[in-house]
Amino acid sequence: MADPDMRETRATQARYNRIAPVYDLMELLPERRYSSWRQRVWSLVEGPQVLEVGVGTGKNFPYHPPNVQITGIDLSDRMLARARRRAEQMGRALTLRQMDVQAMDFPDNTFDSAVATFVFCSVPDPVLGLREIARVVRPGGRVVLLEHVRAENALLGRLMDWLDPLVARLMGPHINRRTVDNVRRAGLTIEQVEDIGARGIFKLIVARV
Ligand SMILES: C[S@@+](CC[C@H](N)C(=O)[O-])C[C@H]1O[C@@H](n2cnc3c(N)ncnc32)[C@H](O)[C@@H]1O
């Protein structure tokens, strides 16, 4: 498997470390909309061992189903510190580790499912990260993603391409990712793609290893 681009990966980590103190505030308004989407995502998860990639500040923790064992990873130590605090406040026993999804420390077939919400817009090499997920989730295991992607509308798509470098530098995520294609390119089998918001910019993607 290819090695991650360490310069880009360090830059992504630095961006999220910088954003960590204001992330929850930035997401306050959109979160009202995301809440029902997060519920959908977690209703599709199959345990017992579940990997959450890019836990951020722990916004998914209230939606974690009971009776599953969650392991959460994130590249940013400062996002993770907030996630740890949230887990403690909620009295949740979950494992949190600082780790890059592009090169995970877990043995093959460790998990029954993997989940990521708004993460593959930020991972420097999304196909590499998705291949790693395919490695650590057992054959037949489910991968559930909630992502914003490049618009299918040609004009809007080109505008997103144009704005992307600035948005990524200021805020972290890339706004022109072709995540459905990336899931296929990583060798996962797509079960379902649902346009859930903003005329297909927000997608729920369900795949199997
Ligand atoms: C937009 S935030 C989303 C956080 C959370 N999933 C949510 O729904 O609010 C993206 C998160 O992905 C993490 N991330 C980016 N690249 C990563 C990588 N290569 N490996 C692990 N986490 C990564 C960032 O540090 C950040 O916490």
Q: What is the pLDDT of residues 86-128, one digit of tens each?
A: 999 999 889 999 999 999 999 999 999 999 999 999 999 999 9
- Is the pLDDT at 172 greater than 80? The verdict is no
- Is the pLDDT at 64 greater than 80? The verdict is yes
Q: Does residue 15 form part of some domain?
A: yes
Mutation probe of ligand 1 site: the residue of 16, 32, 35, 59 with most atoms within 8 A of C-beta: 16
CA 105 to mean position of chain CA atoms: 17
The total number of structural domains that make up the chain: 1
> Ligand 1: distance of its center to the CA of 48 in Å?
23
Q: Does residue 84 form part of some domain?
A: yes
Residue nearest to atom 9 of ligand 1 (CA): 59
Q: Does residue 49 form part of some domain?
A: yes
Residues with CB under 6 A from ligand 1: 12, 16, 53-56, 59-60, 73-76, 79, 100-102, 117-119, 122-123, 129, 173
Task: Report whether 119 contacts 54 (CB < 8 A).
Answer: yes
Residue 189 CA to residue 192 CA, distance in Å, equals 9
Angle (CA) 193 195 198, round 5°: 150
How high is the pLDDT of residue 204? 97
Q: Does residue 80 form part of some domain?
A: yes
> Ligand 1: distance of its center to the CA of 140 in Å?
25
> Ligand 1: distance of its center to the CA of 137 in Å?
19
Domain span holding position 203 = 6-208
Atom of ligand 1 nearest to the CA of 76: 25
Residue 122 CA to residue 182 CA, distance in Å, equals 13
Residue nearest to atom 1 of ligand 1 (CA): 118
How high is the pLDDT of residue 173? 85
Q: Does residue 1 form part of some domain?
A: no
Q: Does residue 17 form part of some domain?
A: yes
Among residues 64, 115, 55, the alpha carbon closest in space to that of 85 is found at: 55
Q: Is 13 helix (H, G, I), strand (E, B) or coil?
A: helix
Q: Does residue 167 form part of some domain?
A: yes
pTM score of the predicted model:
0.95
pLDDT tens digit string along 133-149?
Answer: 999 999 999 999 999 99
- The structure tokens listed for 168 are 């990524």
State the CATH number of the domain containing residue 161. Answer: 3.40.50.150
Which residues fall within 8 angstroms of residue 139, CB to CB, at 6 or more apart? 109, 209
Residue nearest to atom 8 of ligand 1 (CA): 117
Per-residue pLDDT band at 171 (split at 50, 70, 90): confident
Q: Does residue 161 form part of some domain?
A: yes
Strand ordering across the sheet containing 137-148: 95-98, 69-74, 49-53, 111-117, 137-148, 202-208, 189-197
